[in-house]
Amino acid sequence: MTASRSATEHYADRRQRLLRMVGNSRVLRRWGPWLLPLLDRRFHRWTNGHWTPSRLLAPVLILHTTRRDGTPCATPLLAGRTAPDTFFVMATNFGRPRHPAWSHHLLRDPHARVDWQGASWPVRARLLTPQEQQAARPRILACMPCFDDYARTAEREIRVFALTPPGTAQAYTRRKPGRRRRPPSGRR
What are the pLDDT digits (tens) for 30-70? 777 778 888 888 988 898 888 888 887 788 999 999 999 99
- Looking only at Cα atoms, what is the longest distance across the chain? 65
Long-range contacts: 11-18, Cβ < 8 Å, 24+?
A: 16/142, 16/145, 17/145, 18/57
Q: How confident is the model at residue 180 (pLDDT cuts 50, 70, 90)?
A: very low
Lowest mean pLDDT among 12-21, 88-97, 150-159, 173-182: 173-182
Q: Which residues pair with 66 in a beta bridge?
A: 72
**Single-letter residue type at 102:** W
What are the pLDDT digits (tens) for 16-27? 777 777 777 777
